[in-house]
């Protein structure tokens, strides 16, 4: 029996829908924007994060639902919802969420910013001096790059890029050729900034901004000489951005992906956003053109792309309105500036980002590039960014004649172009670049160095829960482990052998690997705790992850709960499990922690009759991670580091009463309220681990 058919046998009332749970996560992020205890500019940033998250939600999740409907699917998911029913629920929920988001922006955050001397000026409030400056800016910087397109037989509706800013203009009158189409489209080039700061000398406040949309609204008549502008309306289209590469047709993955990326900007439309002043006629015209329905229309009382405000907190120099800065710390074993290879040989090293620095990983790769005793470097790359010091060190190592092998995941969503660029650069200097196994994303985070030392060759390994992306290590919570344990090194070498060559999967001594042993080992570990509880022992599971969705694992957790196992789950995002249901999951508690940093590490703890088995992983408990990706979970073998992981990664979060949300059995969340001492896990970890502690 295949895995899918087993899933269909599980009762539908055991599961929360993934998409609806994702929207509950957006509500928790929005609550950070509403929280008066959060610094004001950070509240604005959280508000923008909601918009960014919703963009991806439509590009990937909603587009997937629509594709199911287009193909005529009436199959229900594990939760029992059919695609058409789910789309209706999603539309209703997102419309409500967006209304709350803009109300928070317009009624709370923008007035609070204005009171602090940070204003976004409406056209009606511009002074004469500001109006003159804006006109000059429009004529000098904006108008020369605009191409207004009147809609008629000779000028069809232009192609509209995914998430681009556009204006639909209603016109009256005849042009120079006697044409009267009544409508035109103006596309804002991506090169133009969407938020413009006005000179301080013409403003009352230190920071005054205007939106590009306001500037264009004020001067759109300049684009249509002699005609009367009846209306000018912002609009934005979100498109299906999932990529598809046919395994049977592809000959060269990189070339095929390059071609597919060109289509991402023009995929099928899934959402239309318009300003709330848009006329019904124009809204209906746009819906008809993009083949969307009324449920796909989202009217916004403000700019249609709040993501553009994400830059403002970086432009405004007001430390009192931001989170206080901190300097990431270093483990004590590295504070003495010992040589990195010596430090790892002495003992395994655990790094807890962002509270502790990512620099030891960079230092290790830098040392490897320069050390003549390092013969080979192997590394997996999922996301690393367009500018990466790690990639530069790899390139330098290859130039020095070392055997450099990079398993680079070309299909890392929205990072495909950056990864293709790095593939080209690395190959140009002689590195071996491979793309893993087609059909399985390589999501494992592995770095292995082979070094000649007295007694033979030794492997040095870094394994992590997060990407090799120096920038995100400052904002994501992740663990990284540096070790030269011989058995662990052998396991990692076997994984690389699979990724670069051909052959059967080997039995690994310590690592659990997807798509082979990870899910079976997780389920087996859950079942062992259940058996311990049934025979009178204490069964206990603690786990932290980004998402919990895989049905078989959820059913195992239910069975363990019924056997008396204490189960504490920290799930940042979507969770399909229903906690606290009598007779099903009364021993399971689920919480989500949303704070300054994005919770990203995956930690699996099984008490195992006092053995305290602890695994760190790149994988969430999801179908895609267990069965559609190459992932690893690695044990923390050092008892001292194991205690650290339990204390810092689990207990601290289970004790959080400031930024934690408790999941209810119906999928909603209730925020924990401090009683007595306020405990924020992230604040505590900053105090304990950051430099200067």
pLDDT tens digits along 195-241: 999 999 999 899 999 999 999 999 998 988 777 889 999 999 999 87
591 is in an annotated binding site: no
Buried b (16+ CB within 10 A) or exposed e, 459-495: bbbbbbbbbbbbebbeebbbbbbbbbbeebbbbbbbb
Q: Is 462 a catalytic residue?
A: no
| Start-to-end C-alpha separation, the chain | 55
Place of tokens 């400031």: 658
Query: How distant is the alpha carbon of residue 338 from its chain centre?
Result: 35
For 450, list phi and psi in degrees, rounded to 5.
-110, 120
Q: H or E segment at 42?
A: helix 40-56
- In-domain check, residue 434: yes
pLDDT of 479-533, one tens digit each? 999 999 999 999 999 999 998 887 777 889 999 999 999 999 999 999 999 999 9
Per-residue pLDDT at 435:
79
Q: Is the pLDDT of residue 125 over 50?
A: yes
**Confidence band for 73, pLDDT divided at 50, 70 and 90:** confident
Within this chain, do residues 517 and 505 fall inside the same structural domain, yes or no?
no
Per-residue pLDDT at 147:
86
Token pair listed for 298: 């989202």
Measured CA to CA, the distance from residue 144 to residue 132 in angstroms comes to 18
Q: Is the pLDDT of residue 255 over 70?
A: no
Per-residue pLDDT at 504:
76
Measured CA to CA, the distance from residue 545 to residue 592 in angstroms comes to 10
Within this chain, do residues 567 and 550 fall inside the same structural domain, yes or no?
yes
Average pLDDT over residues 283-287: 95
Token pair listed for 648: 């810092």
Q: Which residue, among 646, 13, 296, 450, has the nearest Cα to 286 in the 3D structure?
A: 296
Per-residue pLDDT at 227:
79
Per-residue pLDDT at 439:
80
Specify whether the CB–CB gap between 379 and 447 falls below 8 A: yes
Within this chain, do residues 228 and 298 fall inside the same structural domain, yes or no?
yes
Q: Is the pLDDT of residue 411 over 60?
A: no
474 is in an annotated binding site: no
Q: Which residue has the higher pLDDT, 262 or 408?
A: 408
Residues in contact with 367: Cβ distance below 8 Å, sequence separation at least 6, in sequence order: 339, 340, 341, 374
**Domain extent at residue 614:** 513-689
Per-residue pLDDT at 333:
86
Within this chain, do residues 294 and 345 fall inside the same structural domain, yes or no?
no
Place of tokens 């009606």: 124
Domain final residue, candidates 451, 485, 509: 509
- We report the CATH number of the domain holding residue 274 as 3.30.1840.10
Measured CA to CA, the distance from residue 224 to residue 66 in angstroms comes to 38
Catalytic annotation, pick one of 217, 353, 393, 443: 443
Average pLDDT over residues 338-360: 95
600 is in an annotated binding site: yes
- In-domain check, residue 253: yes
Which range is least confidently modeled, 43-47, 188-192, 247-251, 570-574? 247-251
Sign of CA dihedral 272, 667, 656, 589: negative
Token pair listed for 151: 């809609």
Average pLDDT over residues 152-172: 83
- In-domain check, residue 101: yes
Place of tokens 């194991």: 642
pLDDT of 538-596, one tens digit each? 999 999 999 999 999 999 999 999 999 999 999 999 999 999 999 999 999 999 999 99
Within this chain, do residues 339 and 399 fall inside the same structural domain, yes or no?
yes
Domain final residue, candidates 321, 352, 372: 321
- In-domain check, residue 134: yes
The reply to whether omega before 515 is within 30° of 0 (cis) is: yes
53 is in an annotated binding site: yes
- In-domain check, residue 286: yes
Within this chain, do residues 656 and 623 fall inside the same structural domain, yes or no?
yes
Within this chain, do residues 518 and 503 fall inside the same structural domain, yes or no?
no
Specify whether the CB–CB gap between 130 and 202 falls below 8 A: yes
Per-residue pLDDT at 323:
96
Per-residue pLDDT at 18:
95
The burial class, CB within 10 Å (0-12 / 13-18 / 19+), for 192 is: middle
pLDDT of 75-106, one tens digit each? 888 999 999 999 999 999 999 999 999 999 99
Average pLDDT over residues 13-41: 96
- In-domain check, residue 173: yes
- We report the CATH number of the domain holding residue 361 as 3.30.870.10
Overall number of domains in the chain: 3
Q: Give the whole-number percent of the chain exceeding pLDDT 70.
A: 91
**Confidence band for 419, pLDDT divided at 50, 70 and 90:** low
Sign of CA dihedral 523, 528, 529, 534: positive
Which range is least confidently modeled, 35-44, 217-226, 372-381, 497-506? 497-506
Within this chain, do residues 309 and 348 fall inside the same structural domain, yes or no?
no
Within this chain, do residues 499 and 608 fall inside the same structural domain, yes or no?
no
Residues in contact with 672: Cβ distance below 8 Å, sequence separation at least 6, in sequence order: 591, 656, 657, 658, 660, 661, 662
- In-domain check, residue 326: no
Specify whether the CB–CB gap between 33 and 577 falls below 8 A: no
476 is in an annotated binding site: yes
Q: Is the pLDDT of residue 438 over 80?
A: no
Which range is least confidently modeled, 80-89, 422-431, 500-509, 663-672? 422-431
Within this chain, do residues 435 and 545 fall inside the same structural domain, yes or no?
no
- In-domain check, residue 327: no
Buried b (16+ CB within 10 A) or exposed e, 382-414: bbbbeebebbbbbbbbbeeebebbbbbbbbbee
pLDDT of 176-198, one tens digit each? 555 566 788 999 988 899 999 99
Measured CA to CA, the distance from residue 84 to residue 70 in angstroms comes to 10
List C-alpha distances in Å: 422 to 271, 347, 391, 522, 670. 33, 33, 8, 35, 44
**Can you give the pTM of this predicted structure?**
0.91
Q: Is the pLDDT of residue 251 over 60?
A: no
Domain final residue, candidates 268, 293, 321: 321
Q: Which residue has the higher pLDDT, 7 or 501?
A: 501
SS (H, E, C) 328-370: CECCHHHHCCCCHHHHHHHCCEEEEECCECCHHHHHHHHHHHH
Per-residue pLDDT at 228:
86
Average pLDDT over residues 347-365: 96
Which range is least confidently modeled, 23-27, 468-472, 662-666, 670-674? 468-472
Within this chain, do residues 362 and 313 fall inside the same structural domain, yes or no?
no
For 182: left if phi > 0, alpha if psi spans -120 to 50, otherwise beta; the answer is left
Q: Are strands 432-434 and 403-408 parallel, antiparallel or unpaired?
A: parallel
Within this chain, do residues 128 and 61 fall inside the same structural domain, yes or no?
yes
- Residue ranges of alpha helices (H) inside 107-189 are 110-115, 128-137
Per-residue pLDDT at 250:
40
């Amino acid at each position: 029996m295949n895995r899918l058919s087993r899933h269909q046998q599980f009762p539908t009332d055991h599961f929360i829908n993934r998409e609806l749970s994702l929207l509950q996560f957006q509500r928790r992020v929005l609550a950070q924007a509403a929280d008066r205890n959060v610094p004001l500019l950070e509240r604005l940033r959280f508000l923008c994060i909601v918009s960014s998250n919703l963009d991806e939600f439509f590009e990937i999740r909603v587009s997937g639902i629509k594709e199911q409907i287009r193909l005529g699917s009436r199959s229900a998911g594990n939760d029992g919802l059919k695609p058409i029913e789910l789309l209706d629920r999603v539309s209703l929920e997102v419309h409500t969420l967006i209304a709350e988001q803009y109300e928070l922006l317009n009624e709370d955050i923008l007035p609070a910013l204005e009171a602090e001397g940070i204003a976004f000026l409406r056209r009606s409030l511009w002074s004469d001096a500001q109006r003159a400056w804006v006109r000059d800016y429009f004529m000098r910087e904006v108008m020369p790059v605009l191409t207004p397109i009147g809609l008629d037989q000779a000028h069809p509706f232009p192609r509209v890029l995914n998430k681009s800013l556009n204006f639909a203009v209603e016109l009256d009158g005849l042009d120079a050729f006697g044409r009267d189409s009544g409508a035109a489209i103006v596309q804002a080039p991506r090169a133009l900034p969407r938020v413009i700061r006005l000179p301080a000398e013409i403003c009352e406040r230190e920071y005054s901004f205007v939106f590009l949309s306001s500037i264009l609204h004020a001067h759109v008549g300049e684009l249509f000489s002699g005609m009367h502008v009846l209306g000018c309306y912002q609009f934005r289209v979100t498109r299906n951005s999932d990529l598809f590469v046919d395994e049977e047709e592809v000959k060269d993955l990189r070339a095929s992906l390059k071609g597919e990326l060109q289509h991402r900007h023009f995929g099928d439309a899934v959402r239309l956003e318009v300003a709330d002043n848009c006329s019904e006629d124009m809204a209906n015209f746009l819906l008809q053109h993009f083949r969307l329905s009324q449920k796909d229309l989202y009217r916004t009382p403000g700019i249609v792309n709040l993501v553009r405000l994400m830059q403002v907190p970086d432009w405004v120099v007001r430390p009192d309105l931001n989170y206080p800065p901190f300097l990431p710390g270093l483990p004590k074993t590295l504070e003495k500036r010992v040589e990195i290879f010596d430090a790892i040989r002495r003992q395994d090293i655990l790094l807890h980002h962002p509270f502790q620095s990512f620099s030891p990983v960079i230092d290790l790769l830098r040392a490897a590039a320069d050390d003549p005793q390092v013969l080979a470097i192997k590394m997996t790359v999922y996301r690393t960014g367009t500018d990466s010091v790690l990639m530069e060190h790899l390139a330098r190592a290859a130039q020095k004649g070392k055997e450099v092998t990079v398993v680079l995941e070309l299909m890392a969503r929205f990072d495909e172009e950056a990864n293709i660029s790095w593939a080209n650069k690395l190959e140009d200097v002689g590195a071996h670049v491979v793309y893993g196994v087609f059909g399985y994303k390589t999501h494992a985070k592995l770095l292995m160095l082979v070094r000649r030392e007295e007694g033979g060759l030794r492997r040095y390994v870094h394994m992590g829960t997060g990407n090799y992306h120096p920038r995100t290590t400052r904002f994501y919570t992740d663990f990284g482990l540096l070790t030269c344990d011989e058995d662990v090194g052998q396991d990692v070498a076997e994984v690389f052998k699979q990724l670069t060559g051909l052959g059967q999967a080997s039995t690994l001594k310590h690592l659990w690997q997807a798509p082979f042993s990870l899910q079976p080992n997780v389920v087996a570990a859950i079942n062992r705790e259940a058996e311990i509880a049934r025979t009178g022992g204490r069964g206990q599971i603690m786990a932290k992850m980004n998402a919990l969705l895989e049905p078989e694992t959820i059913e195992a957790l239910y069975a363990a709960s019924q056997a008396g196992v204490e189960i504490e789950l920290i799930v940042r995002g979507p969770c399909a499990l229903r906690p606290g249901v009598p007779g099903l999951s009364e021993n399971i508690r689920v919480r989500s922690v949303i704070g300054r940093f994005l919770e990203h590490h995956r930690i699996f703890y099984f008490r195992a009759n006092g053995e305290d088995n602890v695994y760190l992983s790149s994988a969430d408990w999801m179908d895609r991670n267990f069965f559609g990706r190459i992932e690893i979970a690695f044990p923390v073998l050092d008892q001292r580091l194991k205690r650290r992981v339990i204390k810092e990664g689990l207990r601290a979060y289970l004790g959080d009463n400031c930024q934690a949300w408790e999941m209810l059995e119906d999928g909603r969340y209730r925020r924990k309220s401090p009683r007595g001492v306020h405990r924020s896990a992230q604040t505590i970890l900053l105090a304990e681990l950051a430099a200067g502690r």
